[in-house]
Structure 1
Amino acid sequence: MDVGILGGLAIGLVAIVGSVLLDGGDLRAFLNLPAFLIIFGGTVGATMVTTSFKDTIRLPRLVKMALFPRVSLRPDEVIATLVDFAQTARKEGILALHYRMSANGVDPFLAKGLELVIDGADETIVREIMQTAIHSMKSRHAKGVDIFGIMGGYAPTMGIIGTVMGLVHVLSKLGEGTDSLGRGIAMAFLATFYGIFSANVLFLPMSGNLKAKSEEEVQMREVIMEGVLGIQSGLNPHMLEQRLRSYFSAKAS
């Protein structure tokens, strides 16, 4: 589980709730079901129009992916595996990699690249196929990132719409008396609060989180591709290791 998401959300909620309590406020005053329905219903509806129904219904799955990401490969483990395969290829030949992959659990993307090499595909074909796979993954991830970004853009606007609707409702009853005027205005502004809160504490941070995870996976696949191409070209295992480690250093700088 990604404790960063839950921890960040908890800190944000504690800060807001704490500020209300320290100021002597009542948390029940921040509960408004109509405002909640306007913000989240309107935001999801607008997002569905902007993207598609198919992409929008993936929201629960995207949240699950953010909270429970796949076990990512560690750079040291990836480099060690690629160097080990490079040593096998130099000592026993490219075909020996087939038996090594069968005996050990290998990352599917790495296995796909090595299978192309074993099948005799030239460097251009191997690079093109692996780059296409990386591009497809980036495009798929970008949809999830964009959905939360779109929701983060619409939520504050929906909050303003909800506030205007609330004010119209309050002012329409102004002639009936002013006893509940203050409470009505306060309730109307809750919609703006919900919109700003959901955008800046939920939707936009979730978009950034998914983007960071996607960039990390893309980086790892690019390194795997370079390792496969190095194995194909017969690069010295030590030189391959240095190349891959420098690649990580360049990405981090």
Structure 2
Amino acid sequence: MISFSTLIGITAGIGLFVLAVVGSTDNHLMFLSAASAMMVIGSTFAASLISFSFNEVMHALRAMLETVQASKSTQSHLSKLVQRFTEFSNIYRDGGISALEDSLTKKESKDSFLSLGIELMGSGYKSADIRVIMGDAMDSHWQRQSLEGKVLNTMGVYAPGFGMVGTIVGLIIMLDNMGDDMANLGKGLALALITTLYGVLLANLLFKPTAAHVTEKQEQEFFKHQLMIDGFCLLAEKRDALFIQDRLNAYVKPSKRYHPQELENE
């Protein structure tokens, strides 16, 4: 599912910049420079590889590309998760752990955190032990995933700096080739400043916003995992479906809380 807010933000940001350029000058091509783009992007990527491992940088870039996808931990998703745990309660009470395992959908069986909870219950762990083990798994997952946002934020710091480096290189080359002809000073200076423009745009329209988006997704996932931990602890305690519903609904904002009676009336 696509995140429309992200698409609107990207489209608006690029669109407004293009409109500003088109409305200010007829020489649009002067804003395009392959050499400047390669200098900024290549140097930023190289500096990131010095700061982090290759796999960490690749994971961060993949997470950046996935920002156009909607989060899997919205309030609606949390409400559906509350519904599933109330269903799990009845299934577990009537058929035990084997029935609970068989009730998982194909999508749910691919959820490693959900599978962990089912596995711990099947192993006979008590509620307190499940909370400790799943809590440790949640914290470890958070530490690994939070690195993606750090990598993207670091790229956002590096990009303007390398844009300035490119501008300085361009100025040196311009002054060296200028000689006594001062007519080309303005044109050469404009070309030299393009790298700074690219660096600032990449930092403020790509790296930093996507870093914030990635971090927000991870925080929502962390919140979802907390709900799941409570859900499995309640299942292990063999709480009834109504208690599980009311307890887990605390994680959902009032307008999105799961109420089966309301669903039946609809």
The TM-score normalised by the length of structure 1 is 0.89
Select the residue among 78, 82, 102 that pairs with 1:79: 82
Task: Report the residue type matching 1:33 in the other structure.
Answer: A
CA drift of 1:72 comes to 5.1
Structure 1: runs of 5 or more not aligned: none
Label 1:99 to 1:65 Cα distance change in 2 as closer, same or farther (>3 A).
same
Q: Is the 8 A contact 2:97 2:121 kept in 1?
A: no
Select the residue among 229, 234, 248 that pairs with 1:244: 248
* 2:121 equivalent to 1:117: yes
Label 1:184 to 1:13 Cα distance change in 2 as closer, same or farther (>3 A).
same
The TM-score normalised by the length of structure 2 is 0.85
For 1:70 and 1:207, the matched residues in 2 are separated by 14
Q: Is the 8 A contact 1:17 1:27 kept in 2?
A: no
Corresponding residue for 1:100? 100
CA drift of 1:130 comes to 0.8
Structure 1 segment 1-253 matched on structure 2, within 5 A: 1-68=2-69, 74-89=77-92, 91-92=93-94, 96-105=96-105, 106-107=108-109, 108=111, 109-249=113-253
Label 1:200 to 1:72 Cα distance change in 2 as closer, same or farther (>3 A).
same
- SS of match in other structure, 2:179: helix
Structure 2: runs of 5 or more not aligned: 257-266
RMSD across aligned positions (CA): 2.2
Task: Report the residue type matching 2:101 in the other structure.
Answer: M
Which sits farther off after the overlay, 32-41 or 22-31? Answer: 22-31
CA drift of 1:59 comes to 4.7
- SS of match in other structure, 1:57: helix
Which sits farther off after the overlay, 42-51 or 110-119? Answer: 110-119
- Percent identity for Structure 1 against Structure 2: 24
For 2:59 and 2:122, the matched residues in 1 are separated by 37
For 1:187 and 1:56, the matched residues in 2 are separated by 30
